[in-house]
Amino acid sequence: MFQATRRRLAVWYTAVTAVLLLLFATGFYFYVRNTLIDRIDDTLNHVVEIVERSLVIEPLKKPLSAADVLSGTKFQVNVQGSFRDGSDAVDDDHIDLEWFSPTGKLLWSTLSEPLNIPIHANRSGETVWVNHQLRFEGVEKRDLTAETHLAPRGEVADFDGGLKESVEEHRDSIAQIANRVSTKPISIRTTQNYSLRQVTQRVEIGRQVLGYLRVSHPWFEVTKPIRQLIIDLILGASLTLICVAAIGWLLSGLAMKPVRESYGRLKQFTADASHELRNPIATIQTNVQVALAEPDIEPQQYQQLQVIERLTRRLGRLVDDLLFLARQDSGIVQQQWIVVPLDALLIEVIEEQLAIAKTQNLSLSLEIVDSPNTEGNFTVLGDWDQLARLFTNLLSNSVQYTPSGGEIQVELQLGVKMLNPALQVKVTDTGIGISPEALPHIFDRFYRADPARTHRSAAGSGLGLAIAKAIVENHRGHIHIDSQVDRGTAVIVTLPAHKSETSRP
């Protein structure tokens, strides 16, 4: 119990820290990314200002076209004079320049190939994705010298005689063939994908647009440090989470230590109190039974002694239940497991409850569902007394909360659709049932459903199902309850089956 609580505390502490680290890493990532982008945009705008101031603007001597006459064009930019040294100035900074005419025609560029990106003014900066088609053309050269020499050498080696003279006669022609080179034209096409950060400035005098200046910067100078930053953040956050998880585990252990000690003292007190109360209760019960055996006792005193005896018996059962749970929680119970035939145990428990069921006009039956897989072997490895107590508690509840004329059925069979072999015991009654609101709490200690729905006045202490669950978990089993109000309850207990040596193939 405490280990599970400690684990949950450590997990919550680590999860909260992970969320905080994620928020911090996300904020830091966007801060660095935006800072890099702003720095590049500032650089591009600075280059635009410098180039714009260095433009050589000349008066238009004569109109170049009818459109110039109609638009009233008076000035033009001397491209050669303006960008004479521009390529060398920006090459070191990986910045490329493009100059466009007022109509958007590319007039000058530092790029080897045009980008084919539509031109539009944008001083705030934008990121564009470029798909650049590259084509390489050339020839494939093939040296025929080796091929020419192979045949004569082979012939000389294989045929020693007349062929040797033939080779000598044609040596000149062979030498000419050896100098021949075969050429084959080839063409290779490839696609180059990359991103650019661009700033475009419209250059104008008054209302006359002289052209457009576009400045581009490689985007990898943002993605490369950002990618490294992401790797660093992931590694740093992972190491931090590992350290936080370890520290959280230690701190949760320190936080749980006083709780564990308090709970241990409480369990010890419960065990000691239960143990110390057993002897006085047994003494009172013995004295009451001796007094009830007196022949000349008055009827009024006899009735009072019966009430005392009944209350003492109930108190004794409560003390026994508390002592059992305290020992189970503390783990001081020495397990003495044996091979228990579950069918024989159920027959014995039903025989004990059958007399009580008959007095209340209840039908109590046992059905053992045999199958080829069980081969009549319904055995489990466990404690006989604890298992008998488990099914006695379940049957007692069914007898207590089933109206007169009802039915109680116990069914034993091999669990179906299970990976490991298991035995399933199902206790079904036609009693008053349990409300849906009470079902999640029925295994809590001292919990009882609505007292107004109690069928009989002789109610238990609220520890029966808590004890049943403790016994089932102690035997590595599972217990489940389905119930409907006024229709009945079904309790399903699943226990690991024990395969005896005689039944093994």
The CB density around residue 485, as the number of other CB atoms within 10 Å, is 13
Residues 6+ apart with CB under 8 A from 68: 60
Closest alpha carbon to 467 in 408, 396, 379: 396
As a whole number of angstroms, the distance between CA 492 and CA 478 comes to 8
**197 membership: H or E segment, kind and range:** strand 181-205
Which pTM value belongs to this model?
A: 0.48
Q: Which two three-digit tokens encode residue 420?
A: 């490991």
Mean pLDDT score of the chain: 78
Query: Can you give the pLDDT at residue 344?
Result: 92
Look up residue 278 and give its two tokens: 């057993």
Please state the rounded mean pLDDT for residues 15-28.
93
- Taking only the tens place, the pLDDT of each residue in 379-408 is 899 989 889 989 998 998 899 889 989 999
Nearest-angstrom CA–CA distance, 468 and 387: 9
Residue of 87, 54, 59, 94 lying closest to 73 (CA atoms): 59
Residue listed under structure tokens 């740093």: 236
Mean pLDDT calculated for residue range 37-41? 89
Q: What pLDDT sits at residue 20? A: 93
Mean pLDDT throughout 46-71?
71
Task: Evaluate whether 381 touches 337 at the Cβ level (below 8 Å).
Answer: yes
Closest by Cα among 203, 215, 266, 233 to 95: 215
Tell me the two tokens of residue 5: 């609580």
What is the mean pLDDT of the segment spanning 293-303? 83
- Nearest to residue 249, comparing CAs of 4, 11, 1? 11
Say if residue 292's pLDDT is above 70: yes
- C-alpha–C-alpha distance, residues 321 and 131, integer Å: 80
Residues 105, 110, 115, 120, CA torsion sign: negative
Confidence at 480, pLDDT banded by 50, 70, 90: very high
> Which stretch of 76-90, 228-242, 255-269, 449-463 has the lowest confidence by average pLDDT?
449-463
pLDDT at 141 over 60: no
Q: Which two tokens stand for residue 70?
A: 């109609």
Q: What is the pLDDT of residues 183-213, one digit of tens each?
A: 556 556 666 677 888 999 888 887 888 889 9
Task: Please indicate whether residue 438 or residue 152 has the higher confidence score (pLDDT).
Answer: 438
Question: What pLDDT is attached to residue 25?
Answer: 92
pLDDT of res. 242:
92
CA–CA distance, 472 with 478 (Å, rounded to integer) = 6
Provide the β-strand partners of residue 427. 410, 491
Which pairing describes strands 122-143 and 181-205: parallel, antiparallel, or unpaired? antiparallel
Task: Give the pLDDT of residue 170.
Answer: 52
Q: Which residue would you say has higher pLDDT here, 164 or 56?
A: 56
Quick one: average pLDDT of 144-161? 42
Return the pLDDT at 504. 38
Residue 134 in this model has a pLDDT that exceeds 60: no
What pLDDT sits at residue 159? 37
Torsion sign over Cα 70, 71, 73, 78: negative
DSSP 456: S
The answer to whether 390 and 468 are in contact (CB under 8 A) is yes
β partners of residue 479: 493
Looking at the predicted structure, is the pLDDT value of residue 147 above 50?
no
Query: How is 377-440 classified by DSSP, letter by letter?
Result: --EEEE-HHHHHHHHHHHHHHHHHTS-TT-EEEEEEEEPSS-SS-EEEEEEEE-S----TTTGG
Q: What is the pLDDT of residues 244-291, one digit of tens each?
A: 999 988 988 888 888 777 767 766 766 666 667 777 877 887 888 888
CB-based contact 93:108 (threshold 8 Å) = no
Instruction: Please tell me the least confidently modeled range out of 92-101, 252-261, 455-464.
Output: 455-464
In the numeric block, which tokens belong to residue 457? 């006045």
Q: What are 212-240's pLDDT values in tens digits?
A: 999 988 888 888 889 999 999 999 999 99
What pLDDT, on a 0 to 100 scale, did the predictor assign at position 372? 62
The pLDDT value given to residue 151: 41
Q: CA geometry: angle at 400 spanning 396 and 402, to 5°?
A: 115
Query: What does the alpha-carbon distance between residue 225 and residue 127 come to, in Å, rounded to a whole number?
Result: 17
**Percentage of residues in the chain having pLDDT higher than 90:** 20
Question: DSSP labels for 67-105?
Answer: HHHHHT--EEE-HHHHTSSHHHHHHTTT-EEEEE-TTS-
Query: What is the mean pLDDT of the segment spanning 171-192?
Result: 56
Range with lowest mean pLDDT among 95-109, 293-307, 401-415:
293-307
72 has a pLDDT exceeding 60: no
Digit-coded pLDDT (tens) for 339-380: 999 999 999 999 988 888 988 899 999 998 876 655 557 889
* Exposed / middle / buried, residue 468 (Cβ in 10 Å: 0-12, 13-18, 19+): buried
More confident residue, 423 or 91: 423
Higher pLDDT, residue 504 or 288: 288
Q: Check pLDDT > 60 for residue 123.
A: yes
Pairing of strands 407-414, 422-429: antiparallel
